[in-house]
Amino acid sequence: MRVSQVLADLSDRMNETGIPSAVLDTELLVAHALCTDRHRLRVGGDRELTPEEERLIGRLAKRRLQFEPVAYILGSKEFYSLDFTVNRNVLIPRPETELLVDMAVYYARLNSSVADIGTGSGAIAVALKHERPDLDVHATDISAKALAVARKNATRLLGKNRIRFHRGSLFEPLSGLRFQVIAVNPPYVDRKTAGSLQPDLRYEPESALFAGRGGREVVERVIQKSGRFLSDGGVLIMEIGDDMKEFVKKTGTASGFSVSVLNDYSGLPRVAVMKM
């Protein structure tokens, strides 16, 4: 079978299965199997695949046709122009979270301390340290497996011991520490909606996606507890669900914050900036 034929056949199968990004996903998987770049696939479209290449593409395709996310199949995801290792122990970094990093880079003072709460793959913490080497960056996560992924990403992208990692729930391992900026991408999806969401999400860790009380439970806890970990004039920057703008403003104001909410690139409320 030629490269062009497998591209056409596989994208058709993905379309029939209901995968919206069928062409892109097909190109990514085939390019990965052939150890080449996507743009080279069309140039070499007449090349005949070896039996081994066909088998490998078949194995990758089977996983995607079962709705396993491409990032987990490839083992990597680009975020903030950096290539992060990901697996099913960590949430896949989303483009909208880059806005949170933008805000943290903007608000962090020179040589200040920053905390990334619930770091997962380490995407936020590593991107911050990469953009702002002057910052003293701490990162927490309750999952030992997630922290292992984050540490590997930090070492590969930044070098050893550039970020301080702590294991524990939310602020628990940071007792006695204070930060000028706290960045958080908490779970904020309503657990009751799990059955109606896109099937890809069932592969991602539930604890990083879902929260109780309509998705608001962890968001509220972070707002209420963060004050004691912020230095004077500190800033809490948090990603939120697009239906949480008024809830976050009310909860933040009640906790002593001045709250503003920024829209993402789709025009949806996405990042709350809360100043002491």
Average pLDDT for 220-244:
97
Secondary structure percentages of the chain, helix, strand, coil, to 5: 45, 20, 30
On whether both 120 and 222 belong to a single domain, the answer is yes
Average pLDDT, the chain: 96
pLDDT at 244: 97
- Residue found by looking up tokens 């050893």 in the block: 160
Q: pLDDT by residue (tens digit) across 235-260? A: 999 999 999 999 999 999 999 999 99
Over the stretch 67-114, which tens digit does the pLDDT of each residue have?
999 999 999 999 999 999 999 999 999 999 999 999 999 999 999 999
Residue 71 is assigned to a structural domain of this protein: no
- CA-based nearest residue to 119, from 220, 208, 189, 223: 208
Task: Say whether both 26 and 130 belong to one domain.
Answer: no
Domain assignment present for residue 76? The answer is no
Phi-psi region of 176 (alpha: psi -120 to 50; beta: other; left: phi over 0): left
Domain extent for 261? 81-275
User: In terms of domains, do 94 and 151 share one?
Assistant: yes
Q: What pLDDT is attached to residue 196?
A: 86
Residue closest to 198 by CA, chosen among 12, 13, 11, 21: 21
52 and 173 within one domain: no
Span 156-199, pLDDT tens digits:
999 999 999 999 999 999 999 999 999 999 999 998 888 888 99
pLDDT value at residue 77: 97
